[in-house]
Structure formats: C-alpha cells, structure tokens
Structure 1
Amino acid sequence: MTHQKPIVSLLLAGLLTLSLTACGKDDSQPSPDAGTSVPAGTAVQVETVTSDTISSENKVSGKVTSDLDASVFVATSAKCTAVYVEVGDTVRAGQALCTLDLASTLSSYEAANIGYTSAVQSYQDQAALFDKQIALYEKNVNDLKALQEIGAASQSEIDAAELTLMSAQVTRDSTLSQLEAGIQSAKASVEQLATALENVDARGNVIAPISGVLLSLSAEKDGFVSSAMPVAVIDGVDQLKIAVTVSEALVPKLSIGDSVDVTVNSVGASFTGTIRAVDKTANAQTKLYTVTVTIPSEVDGLLSGMFADVTFHTDTSADTIVIPAQAVLTSGGTQYVYVVEGDTARYVEVTTGLTGNGVTEITSGLEAGQQLVTVGQAYLSDGAPVRIVTRED
C-alpha cells in the first residue's frame, strides 16, 4: 500500500501533460478575426473634377399679390422704331410691346446714376475725414486739460485748441450740408429719368407689366409716343405676381425678362418666374429697390398674401471648374482641398470664385479629371495614405 501513492501521482501528472498538449493543438487554428483587419489609410469618398456653369445665387423673401389691369406710360416723348403687337392680342407679362428711340434718355439716366453714386461717395469720404480730424482736435483739448492739472499747459493753449475744434466743426457742418444738397439734386435727376423709363428695359423696349388682353396701343412705327397718354392699356387676367425688395448692390445685375427660382413653402410649390419690373429708385425709408416677378398661370394653389422665397441667378461663369462647397477647407485666409493620387492624399491650395446652391467655382488650383476628396477631407494631411470607399461601404 505504501507504494501506490507515488504511482497514482505519476499517472495524474501524465494525464495532465496529455491534456495540456491536446489544448496546445488549438493554437495552430486560425483566429476568428483573421483576414478581417481594416485596410491601411483614411477612408474617403471622391468625385472626378469637371467643368460646369455656375451662377451666384441671391435669395430674398416677398409676398404674392394680384393684378387687375394696367396702363403703360412713358413719361417722355420718343420716336417708335418697332411695334410687335396689335390691339386685341393677348400679351404676357415681360413681353415687349414696342421699341422706342430712348438712347439719349438711357444715357442720361446712366450718367445721372453715376453722378448720384459719386455724390454719395464724396459725402461719405468727406464725413469720414472730418470725423477723424475732429476726433484728433477733441483729443488735443482733453490732453491739454489733463496737462493743465499738473501745470504743464496754460489756459490760453486750451482756448486756442477749443477754437480750432469749433472751427473744424463749423467747416464740417457747412461742407457736408453743401454735399448733401448735391446728393438731393442728383437723386432728383435720377428719379425724374427713372419715371420716364418705367416699364422700359435697357434696349428701349416697352414691356408689358402684366398678362392680359391689349385694349389700346398708341405706338405706331416711325411715330411718336407722348407722355400725355398711355402707350398701352392691358386688361389683366387674375394674374399673380411676387414683389420683393433688393439692395443697391444686387439691383444693377437684374433685368426685365430674367428667370428666377421661386419657392412658396406654404403650399409646397417650386417654379420658375420671370422678372417683369425693376424699380429704378429706392424706397426712401428702406433704401431698397422693389422687383416684381410674374408667376406662371399654371401654378395652382397660390393665394394673395402668401410668402415666397425668390432666388436670383447673377454673375454666371461658363465652362469653369465647379466642385461641392463642402470639399473646400479654410485655414486662416487660405482655402484648400485634398485630391487623391494613387493611395495618397495631396494638399492643394485653391482660389474660389462664384458660389451657387451647394457648389463653388474654383478659379485656380484644380483641373478637370482630378480625384477630389468630398468626404473625409477634414481628417487628412498632405501625403497621408487613403483608401477610397463608396457610399455603400
């Protein structure tokens, strides 16, 4: 019996060794995760750079209103060079009714506009200059008063400085008053000529302000129209229009007949409208110009008083590089993008131009055919390894 315990111990040790050996065989099997490691490089999405056409977009809001009838006046005597319609015709808003020889009036209007703009700029420049001078004179007076308190300046010096200040203030008020009179005179000239050119486009065409039936037409080819009677009278259908106001920076870029994009969210309507009138003088209170847009008759569900968003397309560039706006990154004053060459990201500085609906014009830095990073660019650096994935990945 005394020899059985060592034998049993030896048997147990042997069994344990065999068990460990059997378990060790599993180490040679492939890992459940083998073959599923993530490829190297930052995941990005790309698109090929192409040329396209882009226009600047300017969105403003206005209201839907309705028309009844309209008399078309031209507040000057002018020779008619062409007539395009007859009494009884159905005309559409924005349609040319006739052409008048208004070259001299149009030139005078442009010159008056330039004069008005120049007068305003001169006033602003002079006002800024006077403000700087007076600020310096006021500082000089205050400094002398402070020095007087410590015995470093006399009262006579302060009196002289105050006299200089008052003289500058009088000069400023007198000069600005004269300049303001010049502005009002220039503005009056612009408004007078603008009245004469109401419902007239830049080519001298008299434009129908509304759609409807032409009831009368005083214009005859080689004849003269008079300011005493309307050129045309239109019996308007129940025509809807949109009135919006725009800034002085935008109004020179708009013309009668231009197409615009319109959205009326209250009825879920989106359609293309046409500019039928552009005011040539600003509202005295708001300093904004009213633009009237015609709504196509086939658009249903609109009611007078509804709000509408109007997008004007200006400053068009054709055959230019256009990319998604989100692809452009900015650091300080530098704009840049990333392109993919092989499996590597390359940093490229770019110069941008016009901006449209989610897209940006690139005037330098990119060429058609390059692979532009559109998703994942914020995580890249120049020379970083990348792997291109699709949206489904």
Structure 2
Amino acid sequence: MVAIKRYIFQKKWIIIALIIIGAAGWFYYYNQAQKNAKNESHVVRKQTIKNTLSFSGEVSAEEHVILKFQTTGQIGWVGVKEGESVKKYQAIASLDWRLVERNFQKYLNTYSKYRNTFDQSEDDNQDTSLNGSTQEVRDAAKRLLQTSQADLDNSVLDVEIQNLAKQYSTLVSPFDGLVISANPQAAGVNTALDTAYEIVNPASLYFSASVDQTDVVKLKKGMAGEIIFDAYPDHKIRGVVASISYTPKAGETGTVYEVKIGFDPSRLGAYAYRLGMTGDIEFILSQKEDVLAIPSQFIKTEGATTYVYKQEGNAKKQAKVVTGEEIDGTVEITQGLKAGDTVFEFPKK
C-alpha cells in the first residue's frame, strides 16, 4: 500500500514538471514569434529623396500705414469709407479749416505788426546814431531794435507753424491702396486718440516668417519655396526670399530673424490674401532623384561596414551594402540592393 502511494506521488510531480517545462517552452517560442512579428519590412524602390526646411509665417505688407492728425480739432470732411480703393496722394480726411485759416490769418497780422515795429526801430536807431545822441540813448535804441528783431523772428516762426498746421490738417494717402479702417467715417466730430485711417497696398503683400538662427544661415536671397496658406490648404503658391533681416527680432524668446518672402497676391484673385493670414513655407535644400533608398532603421553599421537584413529565397540573411547620402532619415543605397528587394529590421537580441 505504501509503495502504491509513493508511486502515485512520484507520477504527480513528474506531471507537474512536464507542465512547467511545456509552459516555459511555449512562452519562449511565443516571445520569439512576437519579436519576429515586430520586425517591420520595407520593399526597396527608386525614389526621390529631399532635404527640406519649413517654417510658419503670416501675411504682412510693405506699404501699410495708419494716418493720424498731428493737431486736434473738429473733423470737417471725410472723403473715404472702409473698403474703398484710393490713389496715391488722394485726400482722405481733413480738419475744419475755418479755425486753422483764422489762426493763420491772425499770425500773419501779428507778423505785419512786428515787421512795422522792427522797421521803425531800425529807422530810429539809425537816426540816433547819425544825430550825435549820447551813448546811453544809442544803447537804448539798439536794445529796442534787438527786441523788435526777436519779436519779428518769433512772428515768422508762428506763421510757419500755422502753415504746417494747415498742411497737417489734411490726411493724404502716400500710395495706391485699400482703406481697411476709417474712424470716424463722417465729419462733425472732434479728433480723439482712436481717430485714424488705415491703408494697405494689396500689391505689396509678402509672407513674413521668424526663422531661428540655426536655420536662417541655410537661406539666401532669391531662394524659392512653396507656400500653403491655412485659408487655402489645397493651393500651393511659389514664394521667393526677398530679404533676410541682419538683426534679430526684439521681444522673442530665442534668437530669430525676420525673413520676407515675396509671392503673387493676385494668384487667387483680388484681395484673396489678407493681412495676418497664416501658413507654412517649404524650401528644398537638396534633392536626389531616381535613387534606391531605404529608411535608416533598416541599416546596421559595424565599424566601416554597413549591413541590411534582407530576404534571400525563403530565408532572411545579413548582407553588405554601400550607402550614399542620408537625407531626412532616408539613406541612399549605391550597391548591394536592387529595386524589389525586401529588407527587414534586424532581430532584437
């Protein structure tokens, strides 16, 4: 009876051991299968590899102005409305000229008065000198003449200032453009801090980008790229570097430079592009066409030798290759592979 119990006990442990060994084996082969399954593959083909540089920006304008009156007063006339086109040197708005004209006439009258006084003082001073007056009288006449001269000079300055005020009482567009803001749009109100007329020339739009110092050295004037505006994602437009700032932009967290990129603002019709529209531009720094290339993840380098893990018949084998240029994570293969070959990631150890 004891022998039978011992036999059953031994068989029990043998069965448990076999189960453990089987589970361990299954787990091992399962892990290997998972590792192999994770080895991605890539079919070798000829392609174009490009090294690109891209950054974001927005639309700005070379000819963009906000006109404000330099003197206070009442708006006497407004000749434009928001959204209207204007010509170069066209009058936009003016102050009430009546007060300006009266002040101008007042200072002209004052000038005439001081002119007469000066002429009289000059005659008196000459008479005093010629008639043998005392030195004290001559000095007094000379001081009076100098005072008259100063009054006359001040009156001339007053007239000139009023003439400038008359000129400044009218706002004039410095270029052909579009009125994008007009405040106020009617006469009869006094000027205020927000009294302004904003004009932009749509033909002078450009794409402005802030480029980091590490990238700006890769650009030069005349380089062409493709712009895609967020408002028109299905349209690409050619852009050309017009200028690169020599000094960094103020108020930025890093060292960045403004790059101005010209484009044709009439490409999609009049006023299709507007101030502040955002987008991205891409430049091709280098490009190789019709070359065999694979992602760098399928390549392994040991010393001076480069390998790939390729399909040969029903097996996967390590094979030597010769590489060329690497661009943006893609490596040119000059020897060792042909179009249609399949390469795999190297098995993980």
| TM-score, normalised via structure 1 length | 0.34
| TM-score, normalised via structure 2 length | 0.38
Larger radius of gyration: 2
